[in-house]
A = this chain, B = another copy of it.
């Protein structure tokens, strides 16, 4: 993982359909060499996958929501993690320092869906306390990669 690898990843992040010859022209390598480096970066896991960054609003998920969670004392934490990992609306779920135990990032189509998620968390006996933070606007939005369908 040298400076050339980093540059290649950066170029692919901008546009992963760029031709190997174009990338090679920027980093000063032949197309076949660029290809070999990309193969290695993918094999090593530095590149996880080739994907698309999409507009969540165009896909019917205009609302971004963060949930702070304190799990119940007796909650099955492994089950909670599985729940989060398999939930279509959960984009991220982090165990964090501080007063709350988990931070969950959601994308939803409308406010009513937030209540559904909280209801599911309650039904799974995961939820102790929670606080819902709604995103009003984003100065920096981050990429959106749609989850695999049901």
A-side residues, CB < 8 A to B, are: 1, 6-7, 9-10, 12-17, 44-55, 58-59, 64, 66, 80-81, 84-85, 90-98, 102-103, 105, 131, 133-143, 145-149
Query: Roughly how many angstroms separate A141 CA and B48 CA in the complex, as a whole number?
Result: 12
Query: Roughly how many angstroms separate A123 CA and B51 CA in the complex, as a whole number?
Result: 38
Q: A10-B148, A10-B149 are in contact. Are A139 and B95 (CB under 8 A)?
A: yes
Q: Beyond A9-B59, A49-B52: 11 further Cβ-contacts under 8 Å? A: A13-B147, A14-B51, A48-B143, A81-B139, A84-B140, A85-B139, A85-B140, A92-B140, A95-B135, A95-B137, A103-B135
Tell me if B54 and A48 are in contact (CB < 8 A). yes
Q: How many copies of the chain does the oligomer comprise?
A: 2
A98 CB contact (under 8 Å) in B16, B51, B131, B139: B131
8 cross-chain CB contacts under 8 A: A10-B149, A13-B54, A16-B49, A16-B51, A50-B51, A84-B140, A95-B139, A97-B134
Return A10 CB to nearest CB of chain B, in Å.
5
Tell me if B133 and A98 are in contact (CB < 8 A). yes
